Chains A and B, each alone.
Chain A
Amino acid sequence: MRVRVRLFARYREATGQERLDVDVPEGGTVETAWKAIVARHPDLSRYRPYTLFAVGHDYVEPDHRLAPDDELCLFPPVSGGASRSGASAEASGEMIENTSASCRPFDG
């Protein structure tokens, strides 16, 4: 089945694409789709621990089962949980060139 994928922020920039379609087997999960995405964009594989997934208007876990024509979104971390915050700092550090900055609280 075909799953539509939308890429945001650093994922969009890393791939140069806002949208792509992937084919996954019937009953495939978010994880299955992720593997199909990474097959096409291997550079994304290192961000897997920091990636958030959403379908429709809800965050979903990697074992979430996809339906045909679902729109799967790939997000950088949004949440301020301690573990995620640390993870996102690492992710940013890897992603960014020419800068030593990392993720930090946004208290604006």
Chain B
Amino acid sequence: MIERTDDVFAVLETPLSPDAIAEAVDDPGAGGVVIFSGIVRNQTDGRPVKFLEYEAHAPMAEAKMREIGGAIRARWAGVRRVAILHRVGRLEIGEASVLIAVSAAHRGDAFEACRYAIDTLKRTVPVWKKEHFEDGEVWVGLQGG
């Protein structure tokens, strides 16, 4: 699923693997890897969530993820590899919807770049989720966070 020859940016319909994304950013020059995992929460403002559906404009989403990767490499010289994966389709409580991994020579760059990646993703990447409750459903963007 994941190539190790370059940075990885993908929208997938299959479960996301933290082990696989860690491997994707493996680099002999890295002294640290930071992984962010966004998971499906069991409630929204106290309202129980049954499950979520994610939808994306996949090619544009991958292009926007690639832009994030480029911005990271321009800003943090110590970053070695970047991987961003977003899942679409039906996700159950506790499943990962997004995984971001950054390896860097030193931990500071890895933490900062990973934080930048998830914050930017939520503003720019065309992905939406539909929250399914017991008594209704609602489309929401990835805003805020």
Contact = CB atoms under 8 A, between A and B. Distances in A.
Contacts of B60: 54, 56-58, 73
A9 B139 CA distance: 7
Nearest to B62: A57
Interface in A36-67: 54, 56-58
Nearest to B130: A9
B122 A80 contact: yes
Nearest to B131: A101
Interface residues of B, number: 37
Contacts, number: 111
Interface stretch (B3-11, B21-29, B36-44, B71-79): B36-44
A78 B141 contact: yes
Nearest to B121: A78
Interface string B50-73: 000001010110011000000000
Interface residues of A, number: 34
A54 B125 CA distance: 12
A108 B143 contact: no
A80 B5 CA distance: 33
A92 B131 CA distance: 12
A85 interface: yes
22 contacts: A8-B55, A9-B130, A56-B60, A57-B59, A57-B63, A73-B60, A75-B128, A79-B124, A80-B143, A80-B145, A101-B138, A103-B143, A104-B140, A104-B144, A106-B122, A106-B129, A106-B141, A107-B144, A107-B145, A108-B40, A108-B97, A108-B98
